[in-house]
């Protein structure tokens, strides 16, 4: 890389994140920030990489820095909300997601993350409606079907939970967590052979 090419370092960091090479991505973001301390996307990207490394307080600090530079960027507020969620600061997380939605009400992922927060606050009906709205915005958002399944499972609506997990699996057929949860529902429904098949497949895909 050219030592002073900002865009090249940002591109490299994004690629490294997509490969799961988060420490290397952090170094690339640091280089980008060294070249220009006012590039908000570098702070947001660094926050994302730190969240993947479970370094949540540090991630939150970089989300705040990104927001200082671009206060009207909905995605930066979404990142802040996710960081607060990981720290189990659910009320503050919810406020960050609501702020993000005010800035841009069309991003399905924000509603999905907001619904996760509502679920952990045990506001299950609100979570369900929010997952469903996320799905309206993006019918291919597998995590919202999973969330919908989790709410139905919590309510004891096992057929509805199964249907939601099946939708999630159609979108991400190699997601071990989705398949494991499908197995849990099948077991409760007494479909033991199907449940064992699901558990075995989840194990093969790396579920522990």
Of the pLDDT bands very low, low, confident and very high (cuts 50, 70, 90), residue 3 is low
Predicted confidence at residue 5, as pLDDT, reads: 85
Provide the residue ranges of all domains of the chain, joining segments of one domain with +: 1-87
Tokens (6 digits) for 32: 């980008």
The CATH superfamily label for domain 1-87 reads: Tetratricopeptide repeat domain (1.25.40.10)
pLDDT at 207 over 90: no
Distance from chain centroid for Cα 166: 19
| Torsion angle, alpha carbons of 121, 17, 146, 107, to 10 | 70
Q: What percent of the chain has pLDDT over 70?
A: 99
Give the mean model confidence (pLDDT) for residues 24-38.
Answer: 93
Of the pLDDT bands very low, low, confident and very high (cuts 50, 70, 90), residue 89 is very high
Predicted confidence at residue 54, as pLDDT, reads: 95
pLDDT at 4 over 90: no
Q: What percent of the chain has pLDDT over 90?
A: 95
pLDDT at 192 over 80: yes
pLDDT in tens, 103-142: 999 999 999 999 999 999 999 999 999 999 999 999 999 9
Q: How many whole angstroms separate alpha carbon 129 and alpha carbon 28? A: 39
pLDDT at 93 over 90: yes
Give the mean model confidence (pLDDT) for residues 59-80.
Answer: 97
Of the pLDDT bands very low, low, confident and very high (cuts 50, 70, 90), residue 1 is low
Phi, psi values for residue 138, rounded to 5°:
-145, 90
Find the distance separating the first CA and the last CA of the chain, reported in whole Å: 40
Predicted confidence at residue 208, as pLDDT, reads: 81
CB atoms within 10 A of CB 4: 11
51-83: burial string, b at 16+ Cβ within 10 Å, e else: beeebbeebbebbebbbebbeebbbbbbbbbbb
Of the pLDDT bands very low, low, confident and very high (cuts 50, 70, 90), residue 80 is very high
Q: Do residues 93 and 109 touch, judged by C-beta distance below 8 A?
A: no
Average model confidence (pLDDT) across the chain:
96
């Amino acid at each position: 890389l050219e030592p002073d090419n900002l865009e090249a370092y940002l591109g490299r960091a994004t690629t490294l994140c997509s490969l799961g090479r988060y420490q290397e991505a952090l170094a690339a973001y640091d280089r980008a920030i060294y070249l220009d301390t006012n590039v908000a996307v570098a702070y947001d990207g660094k926050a994302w990489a730190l969240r993947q490394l479970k370094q949540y307080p540090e991630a939150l600090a970089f989300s705040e820095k990104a927001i200082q530079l671009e206060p009207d960027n909905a995605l930066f507020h979404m990142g802040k909300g996710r960081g607060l969620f990981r720290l189990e600061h659910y009320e503050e997380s919810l406020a960050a997601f609501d702020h993000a939605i005010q800035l841009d009400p069309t991003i399905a992922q924000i509603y999905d993350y907001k619904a996760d927060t509502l679920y952990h606050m045990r506001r299950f009906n609100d979570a369900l409606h929010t997952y469903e709205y996320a799905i309206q915005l993006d019918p291919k958002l597998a995590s919202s079907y999973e969330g919908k399944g989790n709410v139905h499972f919590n309510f004891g609506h096992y057929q509805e939970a199964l249907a939601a997990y099946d939708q999630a699996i159609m979108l991400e057929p190699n997601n071990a967590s989705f398949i494991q949860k499908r197995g849990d529902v099948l077991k409760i429904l007494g479909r033991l052979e199907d449940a064992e098949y699901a558990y075995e497949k989840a194990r093969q895909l790396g579920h522990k």
